[in-house]
Amino acid sequence: MTATQDDVVRLTSFARCAGCAAKLGLGDLAEALGGVPVHSDPRLLVGREGFDDAGVFVLRDDLALVQTVDFFAPIVDDPYEFGQIAAANALSDVFAMGGEPLTALAIVGFPSGKLPLSILTDILRGGSDKVREAGAVLVGGHSIIDEELKFGLSVTGQAHPQKLLTNSAANVGDVLVLTKPLGTGLLATAGKQNRLDSQARNALHASMRALNATASRAALAHGAHCATDVTGFALLGHSSHVARGSNVTVRLDGRALPELPGARALWSSGVRTGGAERNERFLAPLVDWTRARPEDIALALDPQTSGGLLVALSPDRVADYLSAVEGSVQVGVVEPRGNTLIVLE
Closest CA to 204 of 218, 190, 223: 190
Considering only 14, 70, 245, 298, the residue that binds Co ion (CB under 5 A) is 70
CB under 5 A: which stretch of 63-71, 159-167, 180-188, 249-257 binds Co ion? 63-71
- Burial level of 131, CB count in 10 A (0-12/13-18/19+)? buried
Is 53 near Co ion (CB under 5 A)? yes
CB 215 within 8 A of CB 309: yes
Residues 245, 248, 252, 257, Cα dihedral to 10°: -30
CB of 135 to Co ion, least distance (A): 19
How many residues touch Co ion (CB under 5 A)? 5
- Burial level of 39, CB count in 10 A (0-12/13-18/19+)? exposed
CB of 344 to Co ion, least distance (A): 20
Residues 275, 85, 32, 341, Cα dihedral to 10°: -60
User: Looking at beta carbons, which residue is closest to Co ion?
Assistant: 53
Among candidate residues 20, 66, 76, 85, the one labeled active-site is: 20
Is 93 near Co ion (CB under 5 A)? yes
CB of 53 to Co ion, least distance (A): 3
CB 154 within 8 A of CB 66: no
Pairing mode, strands 100-110 and 137-145: parallel
CA-to-CA distance for 209 and 307, rounded, in angstroms?
Answer: 10
Neighbours of 177 (CB within 10 A): 27
Is 259 near Co ion (CB under 5 A)? no
CB 265 within 8 A of CB 195: no
3-state SS class at 345: coil
Site for Co ion in 194-253 (CB under 5 A): 229
Is 174 near Co ion (CB under 5 A)? no
20 is catalytic: yes
CB of 89 to Co ion, least distance (A): 8
CB of 119 to Co ion, least distance (A): 25
CB under 5 A: which stretch of 70-78, 79-87, 274-282, 326-334 binds Co ion? 70-78
CB under 5 A: which stretch of 9-17, 53-61, 121-129, 175-183 binds Co ion? 53-61
CB of 228 to Co ion, least distance (A): 6
CB under 5 A: which stretch of 56-64, 92-100, 300-308, 328-336 binds Co ion? 92-100
The angle at the Cα of 30, spanning 331 to 253, to the nearest 5 degrees, equals 10
CA-to-CA distance for 179 and 215, rounded, in angstroms?
Answer: 7
Whose Cβ is closer to Co ion: residue 100's or residue 320's? Answer: 100
Whose Cβ is closer to Co ion: residue 305's or residue 328's? Answer: 305
Whose Cβ is closer to Co ion: residue 23's or residue 293's? Answer: 23
Whose Cβ is closer to Co ion: residue 68's or residue 128's? Answer: 68
Interacting residues with Co ion (CB under 5 A): 53, 70, 93, 96, 229
Give the residue numbers annotated as catalytic, written as ranges. Answer: 20
